[in-house]
Structures are given as structure tokens and as C-alpha cells.
Amino acid sequence: MKQVIFFTAKWCTACQSFKPVVESVSKQVGVKLSNIDTDYDVSLVEQYNIKSVPTLIVLENGNEIKRLVGSQPENKVKELIIG
């Protein structure tokens, strides 16, 4: 089962404008979305080696299979998640 982790920050304007795209696509394709604020969940930031935000990570059966860094158009996000 796929899951999407969205690493974001409140101060990040790119993250705030990208968030509705990520939420929309995750609903369209039916995957669980977890929003992680990098300022508050440092352990996950370290675990996934997050260097910049926004970052999307797609997990399948708990393992990272794909990663996307930076704000992207809806079709790119869909392509990332669906495969």
C-alpha cells in the first residue's frame, strides 16, 4: 500500500502554495497523506534525510520508492504517486 509524506514548513511560501496540489492529488488517487512540519518533527526529517522543503516521499509497504523536491505541477505529482 502506498503512502505519501509531505515535508513542509509554515514559513515556506512554496510549501503553502504546493499543499493544495498535494492534497488534491492524494485524494484523487486514494493514498494516505501525512503532512510533516520540519520545524517540529526533527526525527523524521533526519530519518528521511530532508535537506529542503517542500519534499514529497512516496512509500510502498513502508519503504521509500520515490522522492520529489520542490513545488511541482499537479501532473508531475500524479505521475510520481501513480508511477
Enzyme catalytic residues = 12, 15
Inter-residue contact 68 to 76 (CB < 8 Å): yes
How far apart CA 31 and CA 58 sit, in angstroms, is: 10
SS3 37: strand
